[in-house]
Structure formats: structure tokens, C-alpha cells
Amino acid sequence: MNLLSILLILAGFVSSFLISGFLKRYHNFLPDTPCGRSSHSTITSRGGGISFILPFSTFLLLLISRESAIENLLFTLLLGGILIGGVGLLDDKFNLPVKPRLFFQLFFSLFICFFGLSDRISFFGQMELHGVSARIFQILWLLSCINIYNFMDGLDGLAGMQGVFITFITCVFLFFDSRIIQNSGLSQEISESLEMLGVTLLFLSAVISAFLLRNFYPSTIFMGDSGSHFLGFILGFLALAIPDIYYGLNITSNYVGNNRLIFLANFGTIAIFLMPFFLDSGLTILRRLHEKKNIFQAHRGHLYQLLNRNGKSPPWIVGFYFTLNLSLTVPFIFNIVFNKTGFPILFSSIILSLHLLLFKFSSARLIKKIQNKDHL
């Protein structure tokens, strides 16, 4: 990473902070009026997503103007982010009904998958999908990421923290992979492409962080559907698209010479760090389906909402999810230190199982406590 990259990242941070300040001041542009399920009590702008979408899109345009091996990936990232973020922006402005919103999400996801992704997905080198089955999985994955990220954007700082964490840890992994591929003599071009993508995600992490300064409790601006749709798409797309970079090197598992760990050669790595959101939303959706309730109707049944209703502060809850994220990095750190082949897959599975049990039993206990209070 050179001096120019550092200066551009700093410029992105400052521009995001200034844009969010402008949107905070003119909150009537996209006002969020408090209701019964709101965690805020005053009218607050929900246009904060624009503060990181605009600088990041500008940065992508600058990168696309330079020829590189990942030019198509960057262009798809830009186009998809604008299209999906645009749907969210329309939803912020006009409160789109569920069906047309899902239609646009599905249509754009179809276009993005066929335009910017290969029809192959590898799961830690243990299983692969090809052709139609891969396309179906890609579309469902993107739709899930977009909507689940939107579901989880209901507490000061939570969705922003998750975005910063995943983009930063992915950036670190990309830098590691770039060095390993370079030192293994596999491909200088791929090594440089991974480093460029790492800088791109560091830029995104910086602009989200600038927004997060105003979004932490007590929040003075929200990212809105434009921001949550955008981040959900970006993170979901990268989980699918980054492994495509490695396919040209015929890397089909997470290990290269001397069992050196390649972090992002398969779909599962980034997906693992989305699991706290997926587990929370997944269990909530299953519970609401069991109760025969509309899963798209506004409610306060997510674990983070139940914790808040039971007296936990937003900073405590954000810290709780951040701790879950950190626990998921342990297998990869262990592998770097001890070079244990296959350890990340095994240990990640154990940790995710523990997360699942924690979410399930915590939600049940908190719901029971709320019901008991209501009966008093």
C-alpha cells in the first residue's frame, strides 16, 4: 500500500464524515419519525448510507479507470452497489411495498450474478456447485444478505460495526493471501490484484467508520435502507466473487505449498463472519413462521431487540456482537500460529454451533421474561 492509497483513504474518511454531518443537519431530506418499535425519540435522518456510498463509488471509479485483473469485479461491485443501494433509497423515500422491493432485488441480483460471477462455488474445497445449482445459490445468497442486513439495522451502531469488522478483517486476509501467493511464486498479477482489493475494502471500512462516529449511541443519523441494502449486497457479493480470483491459479482448497493457509479461496470464509446476523435473523424468521406471523412486518423480536427491551444498552449489545465476531477469528489466528491443516473449518463449525445454541436459548429466555413482565 503506497502513500497515494493512504491519502485517498484519509480523504474518504473525511468526506464521509462531512457528508453525514450535512445529512444530519438537513434531516428532513429522509426523516425517520419515531414509532412504537423505534429506539430513538426524535426525528432523525435515515440518509446516512449516502455518506459512505458516494465516497466508495467514487473510489471504485478511480480504480476502474486503471487496467487490472479485477476490473470486472470492481465494475460489478460499483454497478450492483448503486442498483441495490438505489432500491433501498427509494424504500427510504417512498416506503416501497414488500413485493416490488423484492422484485427489484431479485431482478438486479439475477443480472449481477450472470454478469459478474462464474457459475462455480467452492465450500472450503470440500464441496462444489456448478451451473444452474450455483446460480440459484448465488441469487438466494444475495437476496438473503441484502434483507438480513436490513433486518439487523435496528440498533445504534450495530449494522455499521458489523460492516467495519467484516471489511477490515477481509482486508487483512487479502493482504495475507497476497503475500503468500507472491512468496509461493504463483502469480505476481493475482498478488497485486488481491492487494488492490484489500486497499479497496480498507477504504470502505474507513468511510463506514466515519459514518459510525455519528451512528453510535446516541445516534444522530441512521444508514437507512440505502445503507443496509448496499452493505448487505457488497458483503454478500464479495463472499461469492473473491474466490473467483483464485480459480485461475487452480487453488481448490484453502491451502497451498507447505500447507500455508489461503484465507479467501473459497466461499465460506467471509460467509462465516456474516453468521451472527444470519443466526439472529434466521431463528427470528423461523419463530415468526411457527407463530404464523408475517416475517416482513415490523417487529421487535430479534435477539438484539430483546436484549434492548430487557435493559441492555445499545453499546453493550454492539459489544456483545463484536465479541461474537472476534470469536470467529480464533480458528484463523490459531492456524497462522500453529499451521494446523483443516483447523479453521472444524473450529469454526464448533464456534458457530455454540453461537446457535446461545442465540436460541437466549431468545427464548428473554421472550419469557418480557411475557412475564406484561402479565404483571
Confidence tier at 37 by pLDDT (50, 70, 90): low
Q: How far is CA 308 from the centre of its chain?
A: 22
- Whether 240 is in a domain gets the answer yes
**Three-state secondary-structure class, residue 260:** strand
The boundaries of the domain holding residue 106 are 3-267
Count of C-beta atoms within a 10 Å radius of residue 75:
16
pLDDT of residue 40: 55
- Whether 179 is in a domain gets the answer yes
- Whether 67 is in a domain gets the answer yes
- Whether 352 is in a domain gets the answer no
- Whether 371 is in a domain gets the answer no
Cell of 174: 487479502
- Whether 359 is in a domain gets the answer no
Give start and end residues of each alpha helix (H) in the chain. Answer: 3-25, 49-64, 71-94, 98-116, 131-151, 158-183, 188-215, 224-247, 268-290, 303-309, 314-338, 343-375
Residue-wise pLDDT tens digits, 230-263: 999 999 999 999 988 877 666 655 555 554 556 7
Domain count, the chain: 1
- The closest alpha carbon to 322, from 160, 201, 206, belongs to 160
- Whether 346 is in a domain gets the answer no
- Whether 351 is in a domain gets the answer no
Are 211 and 223 within 8 A, CB to CB?
yes
Backbone conformation region of residue 157, classed left if phi is above 0, alpha if psi is from -120 to 50, else beta: left
Are 30 and 90 within 8 A, CB to CB?
no
Residue-wise pLDDT tens digits, 52-93: 999 999 999 999 988 777 899 999 999 999 999 999 999 999
Residue-wise pLDDT tens digits, 105-154: 999 999 999 999 999 887 766 778 989 999 999 999 999 999 999 999 99
Confidence tier at 100 by pLDDT (50, 70, 90): very high
Whole-angstrom distance, CA of residue 27 vs CA of residue 89: 14
User: Cβ contacts of residue 297 below 8 Å, gap of 6+?
Assistant: none
pLDDT of residue 337: 65
